[in-house]
């Protein structure tokens, strides 16, 4: 196989080290063989194919540490952002998509944003056969794209109505008018609904099917405490350890999820999950907004990671996660888009900037993340969350050749000071539109801003045609609209504990 030289005005090897000016990355097969000056590497490898130019910055592939694949976004479906618990129900008013098209559209946005690896949580309900078919179709679509994925399916065994764990469904039904209760009661499980035993058996099959696939791994994705019983959580944690695979779950995303630990289990959620075996280097949590210092210390001690998802937290009124505290505690921290980026566009560069700006404290006495801290979240932090920090997240000899080339014409126009740090310029000025080429395992999967393995225009047209042909779910939309005020009243009636901030961003006195 012919070697490749990935050339750039700047080669950003990682967040910690200065960029190489007029540099290059030598790729042999699916791995990086060397980094250095382009002149030296070109002289030593005169037959290598050259990709890139002096008008590019070269950087490691970005890692999206938490996502839910989707083709047509909620905003495009006419579903507005609102508090998480209401928003989940409001999504019933959207037209269902096609699993393959959803994955392809989602991956096109990610590749165009320089994302080469993604942790994708994909939950589902229905019969075991329908659940298996949906997850298999999604996995096949990921293989079609060439992106690297930790595919993380989940299924629930409680919390069918989205109002909390245990007896909450039945208690909530008692608060509803009779006709509305009758309308939602069919959402409760029946004899054909996928069970924990079904889920675990199918997961055995899916994990075995991906065992020899370097770009596709299958993790466990229990959705979170509102939807998973203690016994099911324990069984999933045991299975993940047995298969030596990952587990990602939502923890304390919203204010009301944060209340559920003390309210229903007598302890904060992460402390409770630790008692069930849900912690350790193979475990990551998504969001972790309403987390205590004790839980944070536990995560650092056990190696449990967190995906920080600032856009999603803002859009769904979940709050802002204590990023500075996570970093100070030594918790492995990645960055996730969650398919709800602030611009509804899955722009990972914008997400990095949002994470940076939100955590910038207003006084000299408080910490604030550096630019390098944020770039690390999206590279080495995500790699460690995926337990692949020995081969992902930086451009170094022996690492997988997951490489992004960013055009500099817009970023550098009309002038750039020679003293400016290229890492800062890319972090603070680049956007998804500037991504020109993406390599994964040495394969060019995005060229001139277009995926190489599938025709994105054709996929878009097919998805649009499907939406046109699919009837608006009028009955489900009417039920959702009627139900949301009751959901809001249900949660508003809970005891609201005092909020003690990690970092005060304003003051009323």
pLDDT digits (tens, 9 = 90+) for 217-271: 999 999 999 999 999 999 999 999 999 999 999 999 999 999 999 999 999 999 9
Q: 347 and 432 in contact (C-beta within 8 Å)?
A: yes
CA distance 349 to 212: 32
**SS3 state at 147:** coil
Which CATH architecture describes the domain 62-69+100-156+191-385?
Alpha-Beta Barrel (3.20)
Q: Is 412 exposed, middle or buried (0-12, 13-18, 19+ CB in 10 A)?
A: middle
Contacts of 475 (CB under 8 A, 6+ apart): none
Q: Sort strands 115-123 and 62-67 into parallel, antiparallel or unpaired.
A: parallel
Say which CATH superfamily domain 4-60+397-451 falls into.
Urease, subunit C, domain 1 (2.30.40.10)
CA-nearest of 161, 250, 159, 247 to 200 is: 247
Alpha carbon of 482 to those of 81, 171, 201, 463: distances in Å?
Answer: 17, 18, 37, 29
> Omega into 127 within 30° of 0, i.e. cis?
no
Going residue by residue through the chain, which has 509 residues, state the pLDDT in tens, using 9 for 90 and above.
789 999 999 999 999 999 999 999 999 999 999 999 999 999 999 999 999 999 999 999 999 999 999 999 999 999 999 999 999 999 999 999 999 999 999 999 999 999 999 999 999 899 999 999 999 999 999 999 999 999 999 999 999 999 999 999 999 999 999 999 999 999 999 999 999 999 999 999 999 999 999 999 999 999 999 999 999 999 999 999 999 999 999 999 999 999 999 999 999 999 999 999 999 999 999 999 999 999 999 999 999 999 999 999 999 999 999 999 999 999 999 999 999 999 999 999 999 999 999 999 999 999 999 999 999 999 999 999 999 999 999 999 999 999 999 999 999 999 999 999 999 999 999 999 999 999 999 999 999 999 999 999 999 999 999 999 999 999 999 999 999 999 999 999 999 989 999 999 999 99
Q: What is the pTM of this model?
A: 0.97
- What interhelical angle do 422-429 and 348-358 show, nearest 10? 100
Q: 350 and 115 in contact (C-beta within 8 Å)?
A: no
Q: Is 230 exposed, middle or buried (0-12, 13-18, 19+ CB in 10 A)?
A: middle
Contacts of 330 (CB under 8 A, 6+ apart): 300
For 344-396, give the DSSP string: SS--HHHHHHHHHHHT--SSTTS----HHHHHHIIIIIHHHHTT-TTTSSS--
Q: Is 58 exposed, middle or buried (0-12, 13-18, 19+ CB in 10 A)?
A: buried
**Residue 144 structure tokens:** 């079609």
- What is the residue extent of each domain of the chain? 4-60+397-451, 62-69+100-156+191-385
Strands of the 20-28 sheet, one edge to the other: 31-37, 20-28, 4-11, 49-60, 403-407, 435-440, 443-447, 450-451
Half-sphere exposure of 116 (CA within 13 A, CB side): 31
- What interhelical angle do 196-209 and 128-145 show, nearest 10? 30
Radius of gyration, CA atoms only, the chain: 23
């Amino acid at each position: 196989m012919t070697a490749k030289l990935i050339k750039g005005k700047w080669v950003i090897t990682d967040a910690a080290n200065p960029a190489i000016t007029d540099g290059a990355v030598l790729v042999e097969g699916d791995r990086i063989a060397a980094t250095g000056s382009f002149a030296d590497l070109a002289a030593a490898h005169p037959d290598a194919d050259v990709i890139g130019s002096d008008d590019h910055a070269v950087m490691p592939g970005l890692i999206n540490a938490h996502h839910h694949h989707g083709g047509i976004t909620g905003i495009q479906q006419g579903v507005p952002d609102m508090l998480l618990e209401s928003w989940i129900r409001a999504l019933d008013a959207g037209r269902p998509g096609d699993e393959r098209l959803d994955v392809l559209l989602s991956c096109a946005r990610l590749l165009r944003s320089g994302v080469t690896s993604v942790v994708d949580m994909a939950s589902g309900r229905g019969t075991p056969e329908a659940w298996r078919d949906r997850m298999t179709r999604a996995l096949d679509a990921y293989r079609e794209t060439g992106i690297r994925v930790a595919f993380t399916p989940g299924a629930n065994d409680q919390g069918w109505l989205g109002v909390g764990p245990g007896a909450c469904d039945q208690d909530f039904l008692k608060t509803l008018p009779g006709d509305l209760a009758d309308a939602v009661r069919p959402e409760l499980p029946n004899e054909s609904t996928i069970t924990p035993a079904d889920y675990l058996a199918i997961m055995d099959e899916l994990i075995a099917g991906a065992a020899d696939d370097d770009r596709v791994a299958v993790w466990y994705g229990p959705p979170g405490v509102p939807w998973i019983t203690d016994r099911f959580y324990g069984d999933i944690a045991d299975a993940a350890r047995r298969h030596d695979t990952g587990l990602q779950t939502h923890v304390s995303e919203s204010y009301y999820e944060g209340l559920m630990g003390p309210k229903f289990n007598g302890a904060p959620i992460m402390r409770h999950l630790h008692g069930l075996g849900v912690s350790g280097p193979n475990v990551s949590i998504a969001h972790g907004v309403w987390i205590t210092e004790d839980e944070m210390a536990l995560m650092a001690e056990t190696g449990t990671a967190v995906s920080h998802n600032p856009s999603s937290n803002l859009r769904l009124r979940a709050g802002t996660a204590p990023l500075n505290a996570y970093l100070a505690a030594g918790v492995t921290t990645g960055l996730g888009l969650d398919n709800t980026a602030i611009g509804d566009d899955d722009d990972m560069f914008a997400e990095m900037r949002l994470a940076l700006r939100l955590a910038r404290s207003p006084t000299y006495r408080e910490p604030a993340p550096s630019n390098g801290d944020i770039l690390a979240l999206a590279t080495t932090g995500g790699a460690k969350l995926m337990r692949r920090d020995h081969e992902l997240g930086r451009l170094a000899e022996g690492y997988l050749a997951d490489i992004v080339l960013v055009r500099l014409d817009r970023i550098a126009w009309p002038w750039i000071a020679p003293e400016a740090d290229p890492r800062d310029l890319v972090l603070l000025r680049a956007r998804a539109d500037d991504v020109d080429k993406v390599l994964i395992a040495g394969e060019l999967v995005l060229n001139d801003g277009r995926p190489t393995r599938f025709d994105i225009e054709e996929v878009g047209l097919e998805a649009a045609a499907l939406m046109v042909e699919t009837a608006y779910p009028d009955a489900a939309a009417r039920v959702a609209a009627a139900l949301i005020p009751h959901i809001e009243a249900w949660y508003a009636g809970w005891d609201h504990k005092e909020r003690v901030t990690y970092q005060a961003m304003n003051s009323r006195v």
